Structure 1
């Protein structure tokens, strides 16, 4: 069995994520390749596509949302993602057990104690009446029906238990950090098509196999735990064992088994990796349980200080080398260690290109020590 060094895994990830070189594929094709694009904050998805696609413009993704070719909704790991409409129809039912577990966590059940989950979903869908409501209005109406309970948490539980699509303006380019405009519609109404159903255990297993193939095409080679961490599903080892004949096996730097598509090519580990600026919650950082192929354990604590936070980062030679932020038109770079003159010049060039995309005006640096101790 071939052993892959860390650098080989890094270059494979960079290549499959379109981070070794920008692609000429369409935004829809890139979203399909990545399976789903993290979209906790609407603007971050636009930056993620800008980092991967030649000459990408905001209007291209906005048009896909308005035409309902791309859907924003809760998906992988119960968080907000963008997915191609047909992918969402097929993936959301497969991933529903993951979202259901989240809906059954204490954060939700403490608030809905004594309420039947199925009845709550039916009530929420009844309030939507096959149409669209602002999420805060759905929350208000649920709170009216259940005095003493937090309507926002009830609305969140409904959204986890049944597929609701976010309105086009919800996912469109706009103010950073603005979540107040979220509107929800039953997904089948929004898409004009029913959600896919897995009528048998065999059909569910076949859907899981297809998801694993899609994952490996975008994130492989990877281990079983990596796939599970990415999608939230468990017990995939049996499914992968059933796919042995169509997969190639490797050994990772730590000796654990990695799998990949049999026909997937690996780039030369010595391929140069350009500087890239990635948005918060970028797919490339969240696609594995073991993230050392893109970020060291030492640096990870500065990028992911809590479970609900993944800061925007920049890559130098394929690895996270620092974070960045945007405030009042200033793009502030915070390197974790000194940069050589060549890397610093490349970083500033890429940062200035991003400023043109987001509408900023100034690139500056923060003191790494001060940033890490704050």
Structure 2
């Protein structure tokens, strides 16, 4: 069994994640594909993740891919998280990870509707709600916002107290329709850093809507692409990222003929059958990645690139804040001052060459942001430290 060291794993990040200068992608589609998917929980993350990977990227480039050419599509999938997927990956997600989310979410909606006394038959209520939304949008191919849908459909204009201080309403129905692939978060009606999409029928958004893959085939395709991006990884890494069952993960590893390798600190890992050969070192590189960037969130076991910095860079729920990278390792984070200038906060001693490279990335990002400050609901402890 071949040993893949931590150093080689870090070299793979530099060579495959399109964040090292000289190895960046030519456009948004290619950058997304090399990462399998992009996190889209916060709308700004998509733009900043792509900026880190595409030289000369403009916000119009991202809007074109998302809303004009629609080569990249937002989809609720793994771990009930919103991602941006290459369009051709949608059938795999619809048949596997998204279907799993939709099933779980549907059961919760049904239970909450009955518990709140809105209806005696929660299944019938949800079916009627979904049908009402789809029927209304059939006459509005450009889509409608959640507020417009709630105002137009009395059936979904409800608010339910789920727990103390927590309510849900029409948005849950739209989320379920999104998980099943019937609706898509279409054109954004707000600034690029904020999100208020027009919910649109998938058939109106895409010129051709392919059928979902069978669950086993879908999971295999997701795992194959994950291994191409993040391999080697452990079963626990894949299980966490996929949000499925251990049985589904093990079956997918078999279906893609994954090869077992030894890892320096995490036991047994897996790579694709054509990815066993050693990957050589790469030149040191610097990068500034946003909140929830896919490189930071790709593994469950992160010590080989995080070291001991996990508690400082992740919140209590496991959400990653901004990160500053040098030579394949996370060495700090970044924030903006009141004028929007990007500042790097180092958590460990970094050589002068690394500090200078990170300062260059900070200047590049500051120029691109043009004084616009990016807020987040997932600041890490290091980001919240007083200046």
TM-score by length of 1: 0.84
From 180, 184, 193, give the equivalent of 2:208. Answer: 193
1:319 aligns with 2:332: no
From 227, 251, 264, give the equivalent of 1:239. Answer: 251
Distance in 1, matches of 2:228 and 2:150, equals 39
Asked whether the equivalents of residues 261 and 268 of structure 2 are also in contact (C-alpha less than 8 Å), the reply is yes
Asked whether the equivalents of residues 102 and 160 of structure 1 are also in contact (C-alpha less than 8 Å), the reply is no
Distance in 2, matches of 1:225 and 1:161, equals 26
Q: Alpha-carbon deviations, 1:73-100, whole Å to 9, x = none?
A: 3233222221222222442232223322
Asked whether the equivalents of residues 139 and 154 of structure 1 are also in contact (C-alpha less than 8 Å), the reply is no
**Residue 166 of structure 2 corresponds to which residue in structure 1?**
none
**Residue 365 of structure 1 corresponds to which residue in structure 2?**
none
Distance in 1, matches of 2:87 and 2:237, equals 25
SS at match of 1:91: helix
Give the number of aligned pairs. Answer: 358
Distance in 2, matches of 1:63 and 1:369, equals 34
Matches within 5 A, 1:21-170: 21=21, 22-65=23-66, 66-104=68-106, 109-110=111-112, 113=115, 114=119, 115-116=122-123, 117-129=126-138, 131=141, 132-141=143-152, 145=156, 147-149=158-160, 150-169=169-188
Gaps of 5+ in 1: 363-367
Distance in 1, matches of 2:156 and 2:260, equals 55
1:182 aligns with 2:213: no
TM-score by length of 2: 0.81
Distance in 2, matches of 1:204 and 1:355, equals 43
**Residue 261 of structure 1 corresponds to which residue in structure 2?**
272
Note the aligned Cα RMSD (angstroms). 3.0
Q: Which moved more, 1:219-228 or 1:105-114?
A: 105-114
Distance in 2, matches of 1:146 and 1:247, equals 48
Distance in 2, matches of 1:143 and 1:320, equals 50
Distance in 2, matches of 1:41 and 1:280, equals 8
Q: Does the C-alpha gap of structure 1 residues 111 and 15 become closer, same or farther in structure 2, counting only changes over 3 Å?
A: farther
From 333, 336, 341, give the equivalent of 2:344. Answer: 333
From 220, 223, 226, give the equivalent of 1:212. Answer: 223
